[in-house]
Amino acid sequence: MGRAPLPPGSPLSPGAAVPPIPGASRMPQPQGQMQQPKKEPVEQRTLVVGRGISVQGTVQEAERLVVEGTVESSMIAAKELIVMPGGLFRGSVEVESAEVAGTVDGTLTARGSLSLRATGRLLGKAACRRLKVEDGGQITGQLEMLSDDSSKSSFSADKNSSAG
């Protein structure tokens, strides 16, 4: 019961029977003290849609979505969205933070920050609390700035808007 977790890269699966440690049965366990397994940092559940791959449908339980190809979805809720150069996200997404270097066509809500890179294009509606647009980034459509008191400021761009 007081076994240490398997080391990284171990050929044994976590559920596999582990051979006994020689001499372990003779070693006394201190009263009232049990070894607590070390908690390893939890990795984010990441979905990467690679270049040249197209995905349509619903994505559930992904904390981080990285788009290098094409994703079309009616609604995705994740913690983080990253659209790489050449990547296309079409549909609706609600995230904590977003970084757009490709194209987002639809509705994007970032409860935290939205970064639009120089190669990024945002078409449709977007809402965010913090916005960073690099020179060359394009926004076409409606932009709402969220605030802590849940009031919104709305901006609209009829033509491509480049920030500098």
Q: Is 54 exposed, middle or buried (0-12, 13-18, 19+ CB in 10 A)?
A: exposed
Here the tokens at position 145 are 């700035």
- 60 band by pLDDT with thresholds 50, 70 and 90: confident
Under 8 Å between Cβ of 103 and 86:
no
- Give per-residue pLDDT as tens, 67-121: 999 999 888 888 999 999 999 999 999 999 999 999 999 999 999 999 999 999 9
Over the stretch 128-149, which tens digit does the pLDDT of each residue have?
A: 999 999 999 999 999 999 987 6
Q: Does residue 13 sit in helix, strand or coil? A: coil
> What pLDDT is stored for residue 158 in this prediction?
46
Structural domain boundaries in the chain: 66-162
Question: For the chain, what's the residue count?
Answer: 164
Distance CA 11, CA 157 (A): 56
Structure-token pair, residue 60? 């559930």
**pLDDT (0 to 100) of residue 127:** 96
Which pTM was predicted?
Answer: 0.66
Please report the pLDDT score of residue 74 as a whole number. Answer: 83
